[in-house]
Amino acid sequence: MEETSAVAEWIREVVGFYEERLCRYAYGITRDQELARDAVQETFLRLCEQDPRAIQDYLSAWLFFVCRSRAIDRLRKEKKMTVTADMPDLAAEADADPAYQVERGEEASRLQEAMKNLPPNQREALALKFQEGLSYREISMVMQTSMGNVGYLLHEGIRRLREITSG
């Protein structure tokens, strides 16, 4: 009984820490709040079926991989496949002065517009790295690609963003 309550507490902690991040990630894939929430809910249901010891070492990658799969499945059911990722709101710094906030907001808008011009796999890799803070190894697990390819996607995505925003 003690082990069951320890697992339940672990699940509550995982949900508390990852729920918002997974919702944001799933929304970037589905572009639909309801589909994103459903994908995240299914992810946590799958988590409840897992042995915490079996996935503890790669929990982030496991959660984002399952969430990605669930979100894509949801999209297929809805027949609208657009994989995109939102960049974080760079102007949300509360202590910044108004001029700084305006400048950062304009930067964020330019960056979000530029992101739309990237291939979906580059957008996804950039979002996982810079929005969610995943390592190359974790991104490779989520996207089911090699770490070398992750490096390439990030490098090309950043290079292309610089090109788009500077010219």
Cβ pair 119, 159 in contact under 8 A: no
Q: What's the predicted TM-score (pTM) here?
A: 0.67
**Per-residue model confidence (pLDDT) at position 90:** 37
Query: What residue segments make up the domains of the chain, in order of their start?
Result: 2-78, 98-166
Fold of 98-166: Arc Repressor Mutant, subunit A (1.10.10)
How many Å from the N-terminal Cα to the C-terminal Cα in the chain? 62
Q: Work out whether the CA dihedral 34, 39, 40, 46 comes out positive or negative.
A: positive
What's the CA gap between 9 and 100, in Å, rounded?
42
What's the CA gap between 142 and 133, in Å, rounded?
13
| Percent of residues, the chain, with pLDDT higher than 90 | 48
